[in-house]
Amino acid sequence: MVDWKAVAVGFVVIVVAGIVGFSVPILGHAVAGLVGGFAAGYLAGGSLENGAWNGLIAGSISGVIVTLIAALIGGALGLAAGPLGSLVGGFGVLAIGIFLTLIFALDSALGGAVGAWAKA
């Protein structure tokens, strides 16, 4: 069962930690997913699976939103090169974003499982 309050808190933690994570390029975003997933899993409690599930959803939602924003920005910047540049820019960022969403989700699921374990 999804605890939407835990997912919302995990999402906010991932976004805030991700913004701070720009100061440490790769490690910062990995830690953001772990910390946000941990927060979602800890608040959801229950079994390891429940914590991982809530962390996975929080990471997936944050990954999808970041991907959509980045695709819109990529498409707008590509528009300077013409319609084809906008199409390539938007879809290129979208394809990379789908991969990053999977990484965000798996990272947050691991953090969620650890968070549920810490609460137990």
- Model confidence at 42, pLDDT cuts 50, 70, 90, reads very high
How much is the CA Rg of the chain, to the nearest whole Å?
16
Q: Has residue 120 got a pLDDT over 90?
A: no
Indicate the average pLDDT of the chain. 88
Give the list of residues 6+ apart from residue 97 with CB closer than 8 angstroms, or none: 63, 66, 67, 68, 70, 71
91, 93, 94, 100: CA torsion to nearest 10: 150
pLDDT at position 115 over 90: yes
Query: What pLDDT shows up at residue 23?
Result: 82
